[in-house]
Amino acid sequence: MLFSVLFGLLVYLLPYGLGLTILPQNSQNEIESRDVLEGLVTWDKHSMIIRGERIFIFSGEFHPWRLPSPGLWLDIFQKIKALGFNAVTFYTYWGLVEGTPGQVRFDGVFALDEFFKAAAEAGIYLIARPGPYINAETALGGFPGWTARIKAPLRGDDPEFVDATEIYAATVGKLIADAQITNGGPVIMLQPENEYDTWPGVNNTDFPAQGNRNYMEHVKQQMKKVGNVVPQMVNDHLYQGNWAPGSGLGETELYGIDAYPMRYDCAHPDVWPKIRWPENWQIMHQKHSPNTPFFIAEFQGGSGTGFGSVNADACNALVNQESVRVLWKNNYSFAIKIFNIYMTYGGTNWGNLGYRGGDSSYDYGAAIKENRHIWREKYSEEKLEANFFKVSPAYLTAVPGNASNGSYVSTDQIATTPVFGTESSTNFYIIRHADWTSINTTTYKFNVPTSIGNISIPQLGGELVLTRRDSKIHVTDYDVGGVNLIYSTAEIFTWARDTSGKRTLILYGGADEVHEFAIDLTNLTRVSAETKFNDKNVKIQKIHSNTLVVQWKVSTERRILNLSDDLEVLLLWRNDAFNYWVAELPAEAPVANYSSPSKSTVVVKGPYLVRTAAIVEETLRLTGDINRTVDIELIYEPTGKVKALSFNDETLQGSLNGDGKLTARLDFQAPEITLPNFATLEWKYIDSLPETQISYDDSAWVTCDIPSTNNPQSLLTPTSLYASDYGFHSGSLIYRGHFTANGEESTLFVNLTGGNDFGYSIWLDDTFITSWDGSGQGGGDHTHNDTISLPSQALENGKSHIFTLVIDHMGQDEEAPGTDAIKAPMGIINFDLAGHSQSDVTWKLTGNLGGESYHDLERGPRNEGAMFAERQGYHQPSPPSQNWEISNPIVDGIKSSGIGFFTTTFDLDVPAGYDVPLNFVFGNSSSTTTTSNYRCQLFVNGWQFGKYVANLGPQTAFPVPEGILNHNGKNTVALTLWSLDDDGAKLDGFSLEPEMPLWSGYRKPWSSPQPAWQEREGAY
C-alpha cells in the first residue's frame, strides 16, 4: 500500500491546514481522551494502571526496521517477553518511508501491521516513538535526506520544516492510533518527539523559547488529530523538567528521563566511568513531575561501535551483567515504575541507514545479539530482576528514601538506599559499594527494623558479603502469598501460589555467599524444620515463637526446603537460577497473552529458552529452544494436575525425580547443513567503475550548477558541490570534473567529507592518482584535505581532461553539535586546481540512480549508492550476467585500482525445526600478505547487509537474518570490491558460517521481498 498525498490531504491537511496550528492545551479532545482511556490506561504518582491493575512497565527497545524480516519480529518479542519484560519501545524511521518527498511508504518490510500483530501475539505492550527525529545512531537522526536541503532549521517552528513533517506525521500517527489499546491493539503510550531538550537552541537556562514550545505543542497535536489518545511522554536528556506536566505549552502527560552512565568506551570494558553516576534522581523527580510515575525512558543497555574500533562483544563486556546489577538496582532505589532499556535487541545498520560514526552492526552489546542469540549472563541477570518485580506489588506504591554510606549496614564502604512501602509494610533495601566502580570484596552486617523488631543480620552468625561490582536487594516484611517473609538477604527470583494454597519461593545468591532469611510461621500449616539435605552449610533455627530463620552458604548444589505443607523454598546459586524460566499462562481476552499481575504462571528449568506455556488437560505444553540435550524440570504449576510435558509439540516421556518434580529428557541433535565454498563457486564479474575509461559518457549525469545552497555551511565553490543539494543522500558518490589543460596543473587540492573513516580514490582520465584509506592520524576523520601532485606528462595543453573521484558515503551525523549542523554537507567541500580558477572545472555527480526518486521501493531509499553495478541494479537476483567474465573475488580479485563487481548463487537447505543464524565472514587481512586497503559491500538477495573496510575493521562477520537469506532455497550474493591501491586487491577470505544451532519453537519466517533484476529506465 502507498500512503501518500491522498491520505494526507483527505484526513489531515484539509481540516487543519499547513503550518503550525496550536490548539488549546486543555482542549475538549484531551478531556475526551482521558475518558476513553479510563479503565484501560491510567496512572497516578506511583505507577501505570493497565486494565485496572498496577503494573511495573519493564520495556526493551527494539527497532523493527533494523531487522527487515517481519517474520522474525515475533521471535524477538518472545525473547523479550521471556526476560520478564512486558513492553517494547520502538522508533519509526521517517527517512526510510519518505525517501521521496510527499510519498510515504509504510509497506513491505516497512509496514507496521505485522509488528503490531506480533506484539499482541507475544503479549507485549508497545510504546511508540515516531519522531520525526529519533537520533538512534541513524543517518541524519532519522530525517529523510531531502530535509538537509531545506532552508528552515530542523526541529523548529518555521512553517517550511513543520509543513515537511505533515504527511509523515498524519500517516504514522494514524497507523499508531489504529493499534492503540483502545482499539484492541498493543500501543499504550506515545512519544511525540525525542530528546528535544538537547537540540541546539532549545535548551535555555530557564525554559525553551516560545518557538520551541510551539513546535513541541504542534507535534503533540499532530498525533492527537489522527486519533491518538494514549498518554504522551517525553524523554528529558538533561533532567531539567522540560515538557513535564505543568511546565507550560508543549507539556506531556508523562515525564521521562534518559541516561547512559557507562558511556561508550568499549575498548576498555573494565574501566567504569565515574561521571554520570545516577544519584538523587528521586529528588529531581519530585521537583519536576511529582504526580506521575518515575519513568526512565531510555537507560543504557549496551554501547555502540564504529569502524576502527572494537567488536560488539567488547561493548557487551562494558555494559555487562555486573553493570546490570549495580546500575539497574540503583535505579530501583529511586522507585522507578516505568523502565526502558536501550537497546534490548539492536539489529543491523543494513542499507546505509546508520550514521557516520557506526559500522554495519547495531548489535549494541544488547542482551539479545544481532544474530538473535542471547548474551547468557547479561540476559539472565535482566531476567532475574524483571521477574522479581512481577511478583512484588508492594514496590508499585513504594517511595524512595535517601542513599547513605553506612546506614543499615556495619561499614561505610557500602551504601544503602531504602525504598519504603506505603500500602504495605514491605521495604526494599538496595545495597552496593559506596564507590560504585569498586572491585573490592566487603563484608557487612545488615541492621534493619522489621516486624519482629530491630535486628542485626545474619542472626545465626557470620557476615554478609558484597563481591566486586555487585548490588543486592534485601527485603523486609515481604508478602509471599499471605506468608510474611520477615527478611531475606538472598534475592528473590519469583514466587507463586497454587490452587491448593501451596507457595513456591525461589531465592538465589552468588557463589560462596552466606545468606539468611526469616519466615513468620503464623499462617503456615504443619511447619517442619527438616530439610532434604543434611548439610552443615544449612542452618535452621526457630526463634521467638513464630519465626523460623534459615541460613545457608551458596554452592552449586540446589537445596529445596519444604518448610511446611504450604511453603517450599528453593535455594539456588545465581548461575543455576539463570536456567529457570517463568512463563505466563494465557488468559481470557482482552488480557490474553499480555502481562497481568493476576495471571497464573509456570516455572520451568532447563531449556535455552522458554517462549510460551499452556496447560491443556493434564499436559503442560511448552515452546522454546534448546542447544543441547537437556532435562526439563517442572518446578511449579498452579493447578496441581499436570502429569505430562510436551516441547515444541513433541510429547516427552516424563517421570518424577528425587525432589518430586516432573522431569523429562529432551534430546538434541545438531543439524547437518551444507554451506557453500565461495572459493570454488563460479562467480561472474564486471567492471563497476567504467567512469575511468576515456570513452565513458557522463551526459546523463547531474551537472553541479546550483549557484547557492540552503545548507548552513556556506559555499567555497562557485556552485554547490554538496551531494544533498542534488538529491543524493547515501551510499557512495562519484564526481567527474571536466577541464581543459593549460600546462600549469601541477597540483590538485581537495577538501572532502564522507563521514567517519570514509575513503576516496581519484583518477585523472584513466590514470590512477591517489587514494585515501580513511585511517586518519587519529582515526575516525569525517573530512580530509589533500594536496595531490599531478603527473605533468598526463596533461596535454589545450586538451580536455577529467578527474574521476569516488567517495565512500558513511552516513550523515545523527545530531547537531551546533544549530542545524546535522545538515553538514557530504561530498566535495572545496577544491583548487593549480593554474585554474574554480569556474574552469565543470563537475558532474551521481549517487544512487534517481536520487530521491529511487528505483528499489522494496528495499528503500538508502540501499544503493553510486557504483555502476548498483545503478544498473546488478546486485539484485538474476542480473544479466551471461556474457560477463568468470572471476573469483577470493582467487582473482581485481588487478589494479578501481571497483569490481562479483556475483554468484548458492542453495541452502536448513532442516525443519532448526534456527541457525548464518554469518558472511570476511578473512582477516592482517594475517595475510595481500593488500588491506580495500572496501567491500555485501549484498544478499539484493539487500545491502554489510560494509567491510579491510584496513580498519573491526567487523568481519556480518549476520544476515533468515527471510533476507533463504534458508531453504536459492540465494544471490554480490560484492563490490573497491581497491584503494594501484596494485588491486582480492578478498583474504570469504565464507558463510553458522552460529550455534537451536532446535527451536520459533515460527519460520517468510521471505522478505527480493525483486529480481529488471532493466532500469534511464540507467547510466
What is the tens place of the pLDDT at every residue in 615-657?
A: 999 999 999 999 999 999 999 999 999 999 999 999 999 999 9
- Which helix (H) or strand (E) segment holds residue 665: the answer is strand 662-666
Q: Which three cell numbers stand for residue 667?
A: 534430546
pLDDT of residue 206: 67
Angle, vertex CA 686, rays to CA 684 and CA 692, nearest 5: 165
Q: How many residues does the chain have?
A: 1020
Place of cell 594475517: 927
- 512 — alpha (psi -120 to 50), left (phi > 0) or beta? left
Q: Is 378 helix (H, G, I), strand (E, B) or coil?
A: helix
Using CA atoms of 450, 453, 455, 459 in order, give the dihedral in degrees to the nearest 10: -90
Grid-cell match 543524493, residue found: 728
Are 359 and 956 in contact by the 8 Å Cβ rule? The answer is no
Give 3-state DSSP helix, strand, coil % of the chain, rounded to 5: 20, 35, 50
- For residues 389 and 395, is the Cβ–Cβ distance under 8 A? yes
Q: Give the span between the Cα atoms of 336 and 346, in whole angstroms.
A: 24
Partners of 441 in the beta sheet? Answer: 467
- For 434, other C-beta atoms within 10 Å of its C-beta total 17
166, 195, 852, 962: the catalytic one is 195
Grid cell in block for residue 391:
511478583
Give residue 30's pLDDT: 58
Q: Give the chain's largest Cα–Cα span.
A: 109
What is the spatial distance between Cα 49 and Cα 54, in angstroms, rounded to a whole number? 4
> ∠ at Cα 827 (822, 831), nearest 5°?
120
CB 531 within 8 A of CB 561: yes
Rounded (10°) CA dihedral 439, 440, 441, 446: -100
Q: What pTM, to 2 d.p., does this model score?
A: 0.96
pLDDT (0 to 100) of residue 29: 57
What CA–CA distance (Å, rounded) separates 544 from 605?
Answer: 36
CA-closest candidate to residue 863, choices 879, 846, 876: 876
Phi, psi of 622 (to 5 degrees): -110, 145
d(CA 611, CA 145): 40
Q: Residue 214 is placed in which grid cell? A: 510551539
**pLDDT, position 26:** 46
pLDDT at residue 197, as a whole number: 87
Query: What pLDDT is attached to residue 924?
Result: 75
**C-alpha neighbours within 13 Å on the C-beta side of residue 667:** 5
User: Any bridge partners for residue 180, and if so which?
Assistant: 187
CA 42 to chain centre: 28
Bridge-partner residues for 495, per DSSP? 505
pLDDT, tens only, 458-467: 999 999 999 9
Cα–Cα distance measured from residue 77 to residue 118, given in angstroms and rounded to the nearest whole number: 7
- For the stretch 889-908, pLDDT in tens is 999 999 999 999 999 999 99
Torsion sign, CA atoms 29, 33, 34, 36: positive
Specify the pairing of strand 187-190 against strand 125-129. parallel
CA R_g for the chain? 31
* Catalytic residue check, 796: no
| Three-class DSSP category at 219 | helix
Domains assigned to the chain: 3-390 (3.20.20.80), 398-578 (2.102.20.10), 581-626+629-667 (2.60.390.10), 690-846 (2.60.120.260), 867-1000 (2.60.120.260)
1015 is catalytic: no
All cell numbers assigned to 407: 546506614
How far is 679 from 280, CA to CA, in rounded Å?
A: 59
What distance in Å separates the CA atoms of residue 792 and residue 800, rounded to the nearest whole number? Answer: 14
Phi, psi of 491 (to 5 degrees): -90, 150
- What is the Cα–Cα distance from 397 to 401, expressed in whole angstroms? 13
By the 10 Å C-beta count (0-12 exposed, 13-18 middle, 19+ buried), 534 is classed as: exposed
The stretches in the chain having pLDDT less than 50 are 1-26, 531-533, 927-930
The one catalytic residue in 298, 382, 691, 858 is 298
* Alpha carbon distance 824, 141 (integer Å): 12
Distance separating alpha carbons of residues 609 and 642, to the nearest angstrom: 21
* Residue 101, beta-bridge partner list: none
Confidence at residue 11, expressed as pLDDT on a 0 to 100 scale: 34
Cβ neighbours of 604 (radius 10 Å): 25
Residue 108: phi and psi, rounded to 5, are 60, -135
DSSP 123-183: T-EEEEE--S---TTBGGGG--GGGGG-SSPTTSS-HHHHHHHHHHHHHHHHHHHHTBGGG
The separation between the first and the last C-alpha atoms of the chain, rounded to the nearest angstrom, is 30
**Contact 585/600 with Cβ under 8 angstroms?**
yes
- Angle, helices 73-82 vs 113-122, to 10°: value is 30
